């Protein structure tokens, strides 16, 4: 069989979309195979000009098949039959390793850190390990850039209180009407500190466009605050371009990575952002949050701390005690993702922890696009009005989070009927009231959201489709 050559950026999904469902890469381009950053092996930046990557429709290598059954078997909560969880945007389930890490912490070292005795030292070392793991997850330059805390909202407020004290000539903050309110109201609270605001508006296609950001920027812009991905629509923002533009004007970029977290590789260096916040509980850990910031910027920020706390990150942004057992769980969540890369999705030669994470997250991205494709088909077939990205050619610009309504039916009716059938979806404003208004939907009624992650299956979508179809036919 003749190999098929793909000469643009490597993206298996685009083959699937063109109906070449079983095409798989059999050999990576030799330039990138030797290249030190695994990300570039997957998305060969040089392919267009210099390389041809042969692909074939021979049976795919087992390492490239997305092992959803094996993955599901690692999640105890998914073993309970009769429940389909499509509300992952509100928090994901945890794998066994995370559960074990939390238990282990509570059983063996449920004490305060900073003591001279063994158990306390164990807590110190568990926090240090978690910081290092999350730094690898984010591609941070230094683990001290990572702070742990309760959740994303409290971190954004902590940062807004700090940045609010630095507004002098640069007092303008750019916000979006697509974001979760946590990344809006926390900044609007700085009006009393003299902040002025402008709005980076979502376009009709359900995404933010960087061309619309440019006219809002000036020498007075202090900060642009935006999401990496909308928690309501699933659209992925081109944050690397936003960072480039913001920096041209001397402004900083604050990213809300909460919704994107479980769906793809995070790379604070490639994105060149200045601050980023995420909730661990969306990324397969228990309830906790973390913040990343450039070390030199965190050092300069005035934050609340008692006098005996050194004015150094991460301690200066971690007021008081946080939930150590959940931080241990976050460490295990990163290890879980790495294990996917190592065991199933990576190259046999893939060595580094970051390399395994990238393999896992790119594998997840590809698989989730298959889920998105099927969800779009089902929603369309049932006559649903879908908000946001819905073009099959643009699947790489979204994650499998779908906001929709059925004609002449309230969102509550849909979610209640789904609940009766054992399917967890959510209705309402998704904590994004400005987005709901922008879409012309009633508040707080809003719409229905079905949000999937990599442990969801096509079979689950089929069951969802059966209920939705019945609702659309018989009400």
Ligand X SMILES: Cc1ncc(COP(=O)(O)O)c(C=O)c1O
Q: Which of residues 138-157 bind ligand X (CB under 6 A)?
A: 151-153
124 CB contacts (<8 Å, ≥6 apart)? 113, 114
C-beta of 326: minimal distance to ligand X in Å?
A: 12
Assess 180 for contact with ligand X (CB under 6 A).
yes
**Nearest residue to 333 (alpha-carbon basis) of 285, 379, 279:** 285
From the CB of 89, what's the least distance to ligand X, in Å?
Answer: 6
Largest CA distance in the chain: 71
Identity of the residue, 288 or 375, whose beta carbon is nearer to ligand X in the bound complex = 288
Q: Which of 140, 182, 328, 332 binds ligand X (CB under 6 A)?
A: 182
Confirm if 357 and 340 have CB atoms less than 8 A apart.
no
Cα gap 94→325, rounded to integer Å:
14
In this structure, what are the phi and psi dihedrals at residue 116, rounded to the nearest 5 degrees?
Answer: -90, -10
Comparing CB distances to ligand X, the nearer of 182 and 276 is 182
Record the tokens describing residue 113, joined without a space: 């850190």
Q: Report the C-alpha gap between 282 and 287 in whole angstroms.
A: 8
Q: Cα(233)–Cα(247) distance, rounded to whole angstroms?
A: 27
Q: How far is the CB of 152 from ligand X (least distance, A)?
A: 4
294 binds ligand X (CB under 6 A): no
Nearest-approach distance from CB 430 to ligand X, in angstroms:
8
Segment contacting ligand X by CB under 6 A, of 7-15, 177-185, 364-372, 433-441 = 177-185
Site for ligand X in 31-90 (CB under 6 A): 89
Note whether 365 and 169 are within 8 A (CB). Answer: no
227 sits near ligand X (criterion: CB under 6 A): yes
Q: Using an 8 Å Cβ cutoff, are 431 and 266 in contact?
A: no
Binding mask 251-290 for ligand X (x = CB under 6 A): -----x-xx-------------------x---------x-
Q: How far is the CB of 230 from ligand X (least distance, A)?
A: 7
Q: Does 231 bind ligand X (CB under 6 A)?
A: yes
**How many of the other CB atoms lie within 10 Å of CB of 26?**
16
Q: How far is the CB of 228 from ligand X (least distance, A)?
A: 8
Token pair in block for residue 362:
């790119």
Q: Which residues bind ligand X (CB under 6 A)?
A: 89, 151-153, 180, 182-183, 227, 231, 256, 258-259, 279, 289
């Amino acid at each position: 069989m003749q190999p098929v050559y793909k000469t643009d950026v490597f993206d298996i999904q685009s083959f699937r979309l063109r109906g070449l469902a079983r095409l798989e890469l059999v050999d990576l381009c030799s330039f990138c195979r030797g290249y030190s950053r695994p990300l570039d092996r997957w998305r060969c930046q040089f392919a267009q000009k210099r390389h041809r990557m042969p692909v074939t429709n021979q049976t795919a290598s087992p390492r490239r098949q997305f092992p959803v059954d094996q993955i599901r078997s690692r999640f105890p909560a998914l073993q309970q039959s009769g429940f389909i969880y499509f509300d992952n945007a509100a928090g994901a389930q945890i794998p066994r390793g995370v559960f074990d890490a939390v238990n282990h912490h509570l059983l063996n070292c449920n004490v305060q850190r900073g003591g001279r005795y063994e158990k306390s030292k164990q807590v110190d070392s568990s926090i240090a390990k978690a910081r290092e793991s999350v730094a690898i997850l984010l591609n941070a330059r230094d683990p001290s850039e990572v702070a742990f805390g309760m959740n994303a909202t409290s971190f954004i407020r902590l940062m807004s209180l700090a940045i609010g004290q630095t507004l002098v000539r640069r007092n303008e903050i750019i916000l979006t009407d697509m974001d979760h309110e946590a990344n809006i109201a926390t900044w609007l609270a700085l009006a009393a500190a003299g902040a002025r605001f402008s709005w980076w508006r979502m376009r009709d296609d359900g995404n933010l466009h960087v061309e619309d950001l440019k006219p809002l920027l000036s020498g007075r812009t202090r900060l642009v605050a935006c999401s990496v991905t909308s928690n309501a629509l699933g659209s992925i923002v081109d944050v690397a371009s936003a960072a480039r533009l913001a920096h041209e004007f001397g402004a900083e970029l604050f990213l809300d990575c909460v919704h994107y977290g479980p769906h793809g590789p995070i790379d604070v260096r490639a994105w060149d952002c200045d601050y980023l916040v995420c909730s661990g509980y969306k990324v397969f850990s228990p309830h906790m949050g973390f913040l990343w910031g450039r070390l030199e910027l965190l050092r300069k920020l005035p934050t609340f701390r008692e006098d005996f706390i050194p004015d150094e990150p991460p301690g200066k942004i971690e007021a008081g005690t946080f939930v150590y057992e959940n931080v241990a769980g976050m460490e295990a969540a990163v290890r879980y993702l790495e294990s996917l890369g190592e065991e199933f999705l990576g190259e046999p030669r893939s060595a580094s922890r970051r390399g395994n994470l990238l393999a896992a997250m790119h594998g997840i991205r590809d698989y989730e696009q298959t889920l998105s494709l099927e969800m779009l088909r089902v929603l369309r077939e049932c006559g649903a009005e879908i908000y946001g990205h819905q073009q099959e050619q643009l699947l790489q610009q979204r994650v499998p989070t779908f906001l929709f309504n059925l004609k002449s039916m309230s969102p509550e009716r849909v979610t209640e009927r789904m609940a009766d059938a054992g399917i967890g979806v959510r209705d309402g404003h998704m904590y994004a009231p400005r987005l709901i208004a922008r879409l012309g939907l009633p508040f707080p009624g809003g719409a229905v959201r079905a949000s999937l992650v990599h442990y969801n299956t096509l079979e689950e979508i089929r069951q969802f489709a059966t209920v939705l179809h019945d609702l659309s036919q018989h009400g």
